[in-house]
Structure 1
Amino acid sequence: MTAPNHDDSADARSRPESLRQWSRSLRALDLEVATRATLAMVIPLIVLVLVGRIDWAVYASFGGMTALFGRSEPYRLRARSVSVAAVGMVGSIGFGLILAVFGAPLGLLTAGLIVVLVLGVLLVNTMGLFPSTALFFVFAYTVCAQVPTEPDQVLSRLLVGLVGAAFAWMVTMSGWLLRRAAPERSAPLFKRLPRQPRVNPAAYRDGRVWLSIGQMVVGSLVAGGLAILVGIGHPYWAVVSVVAVMPPPGARHSTSRAFHRIFGTALGVLVTALVLVPGPPVWVLILVIAIGQFGAEILIGKHYGAALLFITPLALTVSHLGSPVPVSELLVDRVVETALGGAVAVILVVATRAGLARATRRSAVTP
């Protein structure tokens, strides 16, 4: 019988610790979330290509954004969050389609935007959704409202969005089955689910919620109005940029997110140009969407600017699939309107922060 090799024993002891560290690193990458969101986005697009209806891509994609909600929530609570998000996404698609059918004038489109902003922020804060932003509802509404639509096309396009949302719901909840089926020893590979979303029925009475709504409404109207005034072809990008930059109710008002968005988008546009300018086949575009969705979900919680290197090609490619325009026009509009929306958001953030500081000082000196 030979004596034990001490080096081998040390290696044996270190292996479990190395495995634990590797598992923690793997979980920290949000691979579950990224994989689910990618599948929910890409599989419907593949189906649409196979049936020859890629013109429905935007509706399937917005329905698929349902999979972005419910991150790190236990499945009994996630079912509620994702269901609420699906209602919000499909409702935004449907509202946009109705206005598109009637060829709504600018004033009516603007009123619709305000409605979506108010209801979206209230929905997110009442139901404790995460991401805690009305961005995706606004994005869906603004795009769908501007895609030319005939009355006989409404039901089919809305159904595509509904099916996309339902599929995303199933993909998002699929982890429950995977966790139950997986052997117990594989549990360290799964991400912990610590988030407990809280329903707040009184959110509509919270002054911070209405302050956030006011900021987004004012910023969206100013940015969108300026984009239209100077004749930029995709004014909704300016609106979306404002909503993306504005902090949620009660969060710290920071300007760094706006700068991350502007510079991240500019670099993301360069990446998109490398993809779209050569005029690749549709399967390459779907691959770009898949990579963009996966990379965005991995990075969004770590560095917003870096995530935009993936978000920008994703958003522009989806937009291009649904409503093709000259690539150079699409890219230039995206950069200019993101800078415009970001600048408006920065001004509002700084003004709000200064106003809140003055109010705090006044209350401190008031006997």
Structure 2
Amino acid sequence: MTDASRPRLPWWRDVHSLDVEVAFRAAIAAAVPLVLLLATGRIEWAPYAAFGGMTAIFGRSEAYRTRIRTVSVAAVGLVASIGLGMAVSIVGAAAGGVLWWTATALVVVLVGGVLAVNLVRAHPPTPLFFVFAVLVCGAIPIPAGEGWVRLGVGVASAAFAWALSLSGWLVRRGPQKPVIPLKPLRENGPVRWGVLRSPVIWWTIGQYVVATLLAGLAALGLGLGHPYWAVVGAAAAIPPAGAARSISRALHRVVGTAAGVVVTGLVLWPEPPAWLLVAVIALAQFGAEIFVGRHYATALVFITPLALVVAHLASPVPVEGLLVDRFVETAIGCLAAILVVLVARALPNPKPRSRAAAR
């Protein structure tokens, strides 16, 4: 029986094949910096710690010689995105507006992010997390004198996540077999310098840019409270370079976000203490990593509370408005992505370069 014809077991019976190791790393990388911020009374710095901690979701099941490269690129990209977002916040405030600065930073991060993840064959192969970091950090006002400290939080969190991503080497090389079955590691291949001149990559970048700018303008035009969520929704729904131009990812994101909004409401409406919200973030990060490669809509049931609880910790707002904005703006972003994908289907598409040319 071939792999394609073999029936797939339910996830709870197939747990040995899940990215349990990655999920534990990601949950710890999310929780530890937030616990430290909570202990020091600086939980409003949570977004910087959270984005730096996203370094741990990269590398996944790569062999360590290539994982070092992947997580290093991810850490640099996330810290650079945090720093660029902070620059947008500071310069935009001084100039009396952040719209054009934000749009410019978004394009820079999209181009750099798509090229970076494809150069090193990163998984996940998307600039989504860089986009999320630059937009959220660009929307947070920064008091005078706190800029370098906040950036330092992001750097420290990324460094911790980087070390955590490589810590599995000790587990796998230890004298005792791990209790939890771990996925086999794989080599990730050399850097693909050819992507810098690949027409397929630049075609994908164009789709990202058009979809995200369209989503952002639509959200701003409607006067919604968190327009960057529409941009993030569009970036999440555009298929990665080389993937099928499908709208299913956008549909999964809308459905999963709707369910995730309900879960978030159940978490936030009782007004739990901050330490419990940090625990929710860790659990949500674990669940997201378990399901993201298996069923995207289910993963969004965890990803949505993760994002909203971090936002609420940093800057508490009325829960009803937070939830409505998240769903409506995600739907707007996904609609923009669907429109761009459908147009891309109808247009002549660039041909991929030969395998030798892409190396």
Q: State whether TM-score is above 0.5.
A: yes
Is 1:40 equivalent to 2:29 in the alignment?
yes
Q: Which moved more, 1:211-220 or 1:189-198?
A: 189-198
User: Which residue of 31, 46, 49 maps to 2:20?
Assistant: 31
Report the equivalent of 2:229: 237
Deviation at 1:188, TM superposition (A): 8.7
Instruction: Check conservation: 1:83, 1:169, Cα contact below 8 A.
Output: yes
Q: 1:26 and 1:98, CA in 2 relative to 1: closer, same or farther beyond 3 A?
A: same
Report the equivalent of 1:94: 83
- SS of 2:139's equivalent in the other structure is coil
Instruction: Check conservation: 1:129, 1:197, Cα contact below 8 A.
Output: no
For 1:327 and 1:43, the matched residues in 2 are separated by 25
> TM-score when scaled to structure 1?
0.88
For 1:288 and 1:318, the matched residues in 2 are separated by 10
For 1:273 and 1:195, the matched residues in 2 are separated by 42
Deviation at 1:85, TM superposition (A): 0.5
User: Which residue of 274, 278, 283 maps to 2:270?
Assistant: 278
Deviation at 1:275, TM superposition (A): 0.7
Is 1:301 equivalent to 2:293 in the alignment?
yes
Deviation at 1:140, TM superposition (A): 0.3
For 1:159 and 1:256, the matched residues in 2 are separated by 39
**Structure with greater helix percent:** 1
Letter in 2 for 1:145: G
Report the equivalent of 1:16: none
Is 1:353 equivalent to 2:342 in the alignment?
no
Q: 1:156 and 1:245, CA in 2 relative to 1: closer, same or farther beyond 3 A?
A: same
Moved over 4 A (4+): 185-188
Q: 1:189 and 1:105, CA in 2 relative to 1: closer, same or farther beyond 3 A?
A: closer
Deviation at 1:244, TM superposition (A): 0.4
- SS of 2:157's equivalent in the other structure is helix
CA RMSD of aligned residues (A): 1.9
Report the equivalent of 1:260: 252
For 2:201 and 2:187, the matched residues in 1 are separated by 21
Q: Which moved more, 1:105-114 or 1:32-41?
A: 105-114
Deviation at 1:130, TM superposition (A): 1.1
Report the equivalent of 1:150: 143
Query: Which of the two has higher C-alpha Rg?
Result: 1
Letter in 2 for 1:332: V
Q: 1:186 and 1:234, CA in 2 relative to 1: closer, same or farther beyond 3 A?
A: closer
Deviation at 1:98, TM superposition (A): 1.1
Instruction: Check conservation: 2:253, 2:300, Cα contact below 8 A.
Output: yes
Letter in 2 for 1:181: G
Between the aligned residues of both structures, percent identity stands at: 52
For 1:200 and 1:76, the matched residues in 2 are separated by 16
Deviation at 1:356, TM superposition (A): 4.0
For 2:140 and 2:44, the matched residues in 1 are separated by 10
Instruction: Check conservation: 1:40, 1:167, Cα contact below 8 A.
Output: yes
Please list the CA deviations of residues 175-218 of structure 1 after superposition, one character each: whole Å capped at 9, or x if unmatched: 001111143x5599221012414311121200111111101111
Unaligned runs of 5+ in 1: 1-21, 361-367
Q: 1:186 and 1:314, CA in 2 relative to 1: closer, same or farther beyond 3 A?
A: closer
User: Which residue of 172, 187, 205 maps to 1:213?
Assistant: 205
Letter in 2 for 1:75: Y
Deviation at 1:320, TM superposition (A): 1.1
Q: Which moved more, 1:168-177 or 1:323-332?
A: 323-332
Q: How does 1:1-150 map to 2 (within 5 A)?
A: 25-102=14-91, 103=93, 104-150=97-143
Deviation at 1:151, TM superposition (A): 3.7
Count of aligned pairs between the two proteins: 337
Please list the CA deviations of residues 30-56 of structure 1 after superposition, one character each: whole Å capped at 9, or x if unmatched: 110100000000011111111111011
Please list the CA deviations of residues 277-311 of structure 1 after superposition, one character each: whole Å capped at 9, or x if unmatched: 12111011111101110000000000000110000
For 2:278 and 2:73, the matched residues in 1 are separated by 27
Unaligned runs of 5+ in 2: 1-10, 352-359
Letter in 1 for 2:49: A
Q: 1:126 and 1:156, CA in 2 relative to 1: closer, same or farther beyond 3 A?
A: same
For 1:222 and 1:89, the matched residues in 2 are separated by 24
Report the equivalent of 2:305: 313
Letter in 1 for 2:36: V
Report the equivalent of 1:340: 332
